[in-house]
Each structure stands twice: as C-alpha cells, then as structure tokens.
C-alpha cells in the first residue's frame, strides 16, 4: 500500500509566521503610543484612587455593575462558565489597574516623608526642588510631599 500525503488545494498565503506578524503589529502600536508613555524621570499627577481602601471600593463597584449584566446574561443563556471566565478576567484587570496602583500610591507619600526625615541629603534635595518648582496646569501644588 502506498502512503500519499494530502496536498492542500490552496497555496499558502504568505511565508511569514505568526510571530513575525505579531512583532510587526506590536512595533506599530509601540510607535503609536510612544509619545503617550512618559519618559523616565518625569513626574505626573495621578487622577485616581489614592489609597488601598478607595481602590478596593472603586474596583468593587465596577465589578458589581459588570456582574449584574453578566449574571443576567448567564441566567438567560445558561453559559455560566463563560461568565466565570469573563469575571475572572475583570478581577485581574481591575486589580492591576485600580487596586495595585492605589495601594502603591497610598503608601508612597508616608514612606517618602519618613525617608526625608531620616536622610538630611534627601530632605535638602526635596527642599531645593520645592523652591525651584513652578506649578503648571496639571499639578497646582508641589507633588512629592
């Protein structure tokens, strides 16, 4: 018996691999958003939850609103497993976008104050920066302390 490999009736569309296409698309998106990403050393003001408790409340409120619609959809369609996966993704997204940054911001200011109190060089540098700092439209008050 002779073994014959099946041959596709259609030739391959391109010789590029999926990884090459993803690299090209990633490079295009990176070039597009590069001007939005702040350069190292720049300080920006943050408009969001400033401590862990407010971050948890914000994320919980958004998750509750999303779950109301997810539960209604899951009960009418019977697809509970898909609701669980979407809910898990929302929890991870909200934790990475709201909870972790708010916890970091909530602890950063007291830690900086404590370090400035313990290190006179850091305190002198912050004082010198405060005296030479001019407010702009985004940050009307001096930020670090």
pTM for the complete prediction?
A: 0.54
> Rounded to the nearest 5°, which phi and psi values hold at 141?
-120, 160
Of the candidates 48, 97, 93, the residue with the CA atom closest to the CA atom of residue 85 = 93
Neighbouring residues of 116: CB distance < 8 A, sequence distance ≥ 6:
122, 123, 126, 145
Q: pLDDT by residue for the chain (145 residues), tens digit each?
A: 676 666 666 655 556 677 788 888 888 888 877 777 666 666 666 667 888 898 899 999 999 999 998 888 888 888 888 888 999 999 999 999 889 888 888 888 788 888 889 999 988 888 888 787 776 666 666 655 5
Burial class of residue 49 (count of CB atoms within 10 Å of its CB; 0-12, 13-18, 19+): buried
């Amino acid at each position: 018996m002779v073994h014959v490999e099946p041959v596709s009736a259609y030739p391959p569309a391109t010789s590029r691999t999926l990884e090459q296409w993803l690299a090209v698309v990633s490079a295009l998106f990176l070039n597009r958003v590069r001007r939005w990403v702040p350069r190292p050393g720049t300080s920006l003001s943050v408009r969001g939850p400033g401590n862990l408790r407010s971050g948890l409340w914000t994320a919980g409120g958004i998750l509750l609103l999303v779950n109301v619609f997810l539960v209604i959809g899951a009960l009418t369609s019977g697809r509970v497993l898909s609701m669980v996966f979407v809910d898990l993704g929302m929890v991870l997204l909200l934790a990475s976008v709201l909870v972790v940054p708010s916890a970091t911001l909530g602890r950063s200011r007291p830690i900086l104050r404590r370090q400035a109190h313990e290190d006179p060089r850091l305190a002198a540098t912050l004082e010198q920066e405060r005296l030479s700092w001019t407010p702009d439209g985004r940050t009307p008050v001096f930020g670090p302390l």
